[in-house]
A and B are shown apart, each in its own frame.
Chain A
Amino acid sequence: MTLNVVWFVLIAVLFTGYAVLDGFDLGVGVLHLITGKDDRERRTALNAIGPVWDGNEVWLLTGGGALFAAFPKVYATVFSGFYLAMMLVLLSLIMRATALEFRSKNESARWRSFWDVTFSLASALAAVLFGVAAGNLMKGIPIDAGGNFTGSFLGLLNPFSILIGLLSLAMFTMHGATYLAVKTEGAQQERARDWALRAYVAFIVLYLAACSWGAIVARPVSARYFSSPAAWLAVLPLLAGAILTPAMLRRGRDLGAFYGSALCIASLNLILAVGAYPALAPSSGDPGTSLTIFNASSSPLTLKTMLVIALIGMPLVTAYTAWIYHAFRGKVKIEATSY
């Protein structure tokens, strides 16, 4: 039983790692056409995430694999249930990767602007869809006694989930803007700071709207906050992030602002995890059909084996990832081998 809880935490860590790391890649993409006014600035933006975006995306792949390994019933039910939405997510991730890799491999202005637009739209679409998926899980999804999803694609596009999609868009945009402010200089940096503030305001407004609406419609997550005062501790880090981000931006301390927005993203995931526990895919109908860390998990032996793998692997990953971020630290300089 403890193993199930450990894996709940680990899955949450993997998806939070993804949101914090690939989150700024997505945000840089959303702002690509807005903060980059000419070819040089756009290349600077692409190369700001150039050495790290691929590794950041691995957090999602590993999260997906770990979900399959630890809670296969959730992996099966949610991904088959969200079929078209998943395909759109995959499409947008593929288009993003392609645009990033191939945009600067040809001099033609039309070629480049085609990929610039593709990169931006695909990033925004992915950011919104992640939020829509989260919104649906917060509300609970229709699951029958056999553990199958019984809803429809259009049913996923409900107003509350779209609101969460917009919240996710604002949050990643804020994160990407603070990252750009760290990695760029001059006018581009100023624009990035301005957009970080704008996205911050949108994030706060949408967050408050999502909270008040979610209190009513997202019962599977919000119920705990009505019944248990201790759960409110999860909101404290968000408060800290929400204070830190604009304060640092105003002082021109971009790295601090970046950490602030990272804290906002991580604590939003924390708030959701604390609310949803022990459910991973709450049912909108009979709570007995909810997929939880207890009824959807793999065997104790698999959970234990996976834990050993994670304990060997993740410290290594963290160590060399930190080294790579360190090697590519500082402002972006365009070189012959750049994107």
Chain B
Amino acid sequence: MDALVLSRVQFALTAMFHYIYPPLTIGMGVILFVMATLRLKRKEPVYDEMLRFWVHLFGINFAVGVATGIVLEFQFGTNWAPYSRFVGDIFGAPLAAEGIFSFFLESGFLAVLLFGWNKVSKRAHWFASLMVALGATLSAFWIIVANSWQQTPAGFKMADGRAELTSFLSAVFNPSTLPRFSHAIMGAWVTGAFFVAGISAWYLLKRRHAEFARKSIAISIVFALVSTAGAAIIGDWHTRQVAHTQPEKFAAMEALFKTTEGAPLLLIGYPLPEVGIPKLLSFMTYYDPGAKVLGLDAFPKEDIPPVAITAMTFHGMVYSGVFLAFVALLGVWFLYKGSLERKRWYLRLLLLCMPLPFLLNELGWMTAEIGRQPWIVYHLLRTKDAYSVTVPAGQVLASIILFALLYAALFALGFSLNRKAILQGPHEVREETP
């Protein structure tokens, strides 16, 4: 295999593996802040117990996220040197801003959150939880600014064979930044919400730590409803933005091969037989059932992304997202009725739902990144022209093997430590002896 394919494999491996963790910690960060606020306002010891337990789990997953994220900061230079030269004038700034505005904030205040129980006041500890949540969210913002610029470049001019900045604000708030950032954040909240809800449901099923689990599940299930609904609404907005700014990608997502007036929304499509609702795609995209939607035939063959995988990841994300929204809605209804704890089948369902948001996040990013192909920077630079030609393929292969083994071990390790902490439960985590 050549260095191009290998570098793409390596990027997919490291980015996808890394992205298991940040959504969880971004989502949990907000839940931790809610818990820290309750701990501060109400003096009941259960809030103290909750915060300690969930901070402990947060710490484990944050650590794996940090360990796997280090590579990404340098990978553009190591494997994509021509890309780095081409975009450096624009792409580097959000990366540096992420370090200055969010990594420092997150890592510094996480230390206070994890180890500061007896070192700082309750109020300062609460403030640390706010800063950790803010840092995680800002981190998502800056990295998505950088990635969105690859999707919908703005605020630049071409000079000396590279993209040069002409307006920082236009580059930062390029046409896809806000929909993509808010959609990714909602995805992260969904992940945190179902993580906390699933574990709490398990305690309720096992009849352990009842008060702790009841309070945790109440917070997380409401959060799950808010975030799944938010993800769907923003997702709709984001899809319309893609239709306007990256029509090839949109046609691939919807598996629309021919330019059509009054295009149907395909519920199932390529490579499967097509089943669709007439005119709905035109209506959803342009609020006009007769509107013309560009199909893949409107674009040169060499400019269209791989269709099957773009369409399947997109639909997989939408369907599992809608499913999770119904699960959350049902949960809030049971909570309102006061029957949540008695619905044991529902608690089991929540437990089974835990892995789904992780899958959803990956599917969404696959749609975004594969749908952008063959471009690394949309309409400006092709992926095949962007990899480091000076790095021998054998060295890239060696690093892939290295990271694959390392990440498999890290995943197993992180999983077993989460499991151990969950099995031990909130009391034991709190009374862990030195």
Contacts and interface: CB of A to CB of B under 8 A. Distances in A.
Contacts of A64: 73-74, 77, 95, 99
B84 interface: yes
Nearest to B86: A72
Contact of A75 (B63, B66, B92, B97): B92
A79 B74 contact: yes
Interface string A77-103: 111110110110011011001100110
Interface residues of B, number: 76
Interface string A92-131: 0110011001100110000000000000000000000000
A57 B115 CA distance: 18
Contact of B67 (A67, A94, A324, A338): A94
A78 B390 CA distance: 11
A232 interface: no
A149 B389 CA distance: 10
A147 interface: yes
Contacts of B399: 83-84, 87
Contacts of A61: 70, 73, 99, 103
A339 to B, nearest CB: 9
Given A98-B410, A298-B89, A76 B82 contact: yes
Most chain B beta carbons < 10 A, residue from A78, A87, A306: A87
Contacts of B406: 91, 94
A129 to B, nearest CB: 13
Which secondary structure dominates where chain B touches chain A?
A: helix
Interface in B374-405: 388-391, 395-396, 398-399, 402
A84 B395 contact: yes
A51 interface: yes
B228 interface: no
A150 B390 contact: yes
Most chain A beta carbons < 10 A, residue from B73, B116, B118, B420: B73
Interface stretch (A26-34, A207-215, A307-315): A307-315
A2 interface: no
A24 to B, nearest CB: 16
A80 B386 CA distance: 12
A54 B110 CA distance: 9
Contact of B398 (A51, A84, A309): A84
A320 interface: yes
A92 to B, nearest CB: 10
A93 B78 CA distance: 16
Contact of B96 (A79, A98, A306, A317): A306
A81 B79 CA distance: 10
Interface string B161-172: 000111010000
Contacts of B168: 301, 305
A55 B395 contact: no
A310 B100 contact: yes
B77 A79 contact: yes
Given A65-B97, A324-B111, 6 more contacts: A148-B389, A306-B93, A313-B104, A327-B124, A328-B111, A328-B116
17 contacts: A64-B73, A68-B92, A69-B96, A72-B87, A83-B78, A98-B67, A101-B63, A298-B92, A301-B168, A302-B93, A309-B93, A313-B101, A317-B108, A320-B131, A327-B112, A328-B116, A336-B431
